[in-house]
Structure 1
Amino acid sequence: MSAFPYLVFFTGRDDPRDCMVIGEDEKHVFFEFETTDMCTTIFSDRQPAVALHWAGGHSGLGSAQFLTLGQSREIPIERLIMPGSSPNARQFVSATDDRMYEWRRSYEDPTSYEVRPNLNVQIATFHKFDHSTPVGMSHGTLQYCFTNGLLLIEALVTLNLNRWLDLNMTG
């Protein structure tokens, strides 16, 4: 058995704030990221799950409102991308277990990322590459080894925040 038995595909637009994520773990997985004006809404099976309200010139990036899985909460976006253990890493605290998780951008491939709850255990990896799938063109994949729905949506939101920031900071 692979260390990462679950796989989702990033389809639609090749944009971290406007894309679809589709796949399967123990159940069907379908998320849509849609950005209009000053808000990115993440839908889970067509229902609003998270809203990122961008600050638009105010101090800070804005707020993240989690609306799903009985965990309604609002936090500053900065809490989802706190400085990590190295310059290529950012951390977030999961509402699932109050643990710190860290996304690290790969030195070898700066479009790839991995997430870890501690320095020694990797629980997911994202690879950016274009390829054809049965559901259309995919721009990347996330392989992971957990089935907690809230952790998955937190991981996807923070991954796409990291990708968007890294694209815009180096561009």
Structure 2
Amino acid sequence: MNPNLKQRIIKEAYRLFIAKGMKQTSFCDVAFAVHKSKGAVIHYFPSKRLLVDAVVKMCFFPASQLPTEIDSAVEKNWDEFLRLYRNPIERVINSFPEQLNGNGLMHYMQFVSSAHEYMDDFSQMYQELFAKEQDFLSNMACNHKMCVNDTAEFSRQILNTSIGKTFLGMFLKMGSADFPGW
């Protein structure tokens, strides 16, 4: 077993899932990308569901997380925070492993839609991501002594000022109407 090969498979599968789509990416495509046999890929990931699960948990969600420098920006300078802040969708799009043809948001939406199909717990994990994001923004607003009545509205506005609003509308139509606080 080669842990470096497993990481390379995950990295290349992520790149291919974004560029080609999950449904259009085969084990042979991944094997070709890592210069190994299809059997080597299947050795680590016996099913596509397991490969998708690993890619989502090891690449997609970490790319969605707040960068560490955002905490220091909040403490130092409000304007610096507003300049640096990107919602989770933008953070993922900006971290895509290669320059893609077309709209990054479309690639993102296709990835999320397919991940939703392959992973039973993806919707819950995705909702938790946005709930944490809103909690962070609400706490940040409270720490800056904003009016308590405005805190929830402010945290929603920060997320909604960018492509988050567009994607959230599509996500809610997919059947996640129980998204807390929206």
Determine if the TM-score, normalized by the shorter chain, exceeds 0.5. Answer: no
The structure carrying a bigger strand percent of its residues is 1
Bigger Rg, structure 1 or 2: 2
The structure carrying a bigger helix percent of its residues is 2
User: When the two structures are superposed, what TM-score results if normalisation uses the length of structure 2?
Assistant: 0.25
